């Protein structure tokens, strides 16, 4: 995958994470699952998904975007 394509993919991933962080569609929904409101489960699941995405971002070289990692290593 080219660097530009990879950059666009990560921008899209993080845009989706931000866009759905607040579950607007669950406002006013009183559904309870395992003693907690459904919107709270949404947040728990979303934080797990964000953690997985950030882990993948750091492991696939995305972390070095816009940073000259070699200069940082040399000090």
Higher pLDDT, 69 or 42: 42
Neighbour count for residue 23 (Cβ, 10 Å): 16
Domain segments of the chain: what residues?
Answer: 3-74
User: Could you tell me if 57 and 63 are in contact, meaning their C-beta atoms sit under 8 angstroms apart?
Assistant: yes
Stretch 12-21: mean pLDDT: 92
Task: Give 37-62 pLDDT, tens digit per residue.
Answer: 999 999 999 999 999 999 998 888 67
Neighbour count for residue 28 (Cβ, 10 Å): 6
Q: Is the pLDDT of residue 11 over 80?
A: yes
Q: Which two tokens stand for residue 57?
A: 């971002």
In the chain, alpha helices (H): 3-19, 38-59, 69-74
Predicted model pTM:
0.73
Question: What whole-number distance in Å separates Cα of residue 44 and Cα of residue 48?
Answer: 6
């Amino acid at each position: 995958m080219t660097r530009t394509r990879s950059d666009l993919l990560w921008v899209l991933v993080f845009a989706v994470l931000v866009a759905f962080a607040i579950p607007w569609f669950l406002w006013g929904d009183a559904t309870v699952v395992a003693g907690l409101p459904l919107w709270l489960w949404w947040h728990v699941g979303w934080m797990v998904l964000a953690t997985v995405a950030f882990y993948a971002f750091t492991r696939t070289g995305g972390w070095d975007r816009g940073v000259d990692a070699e200069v940082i290593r040399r000090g």
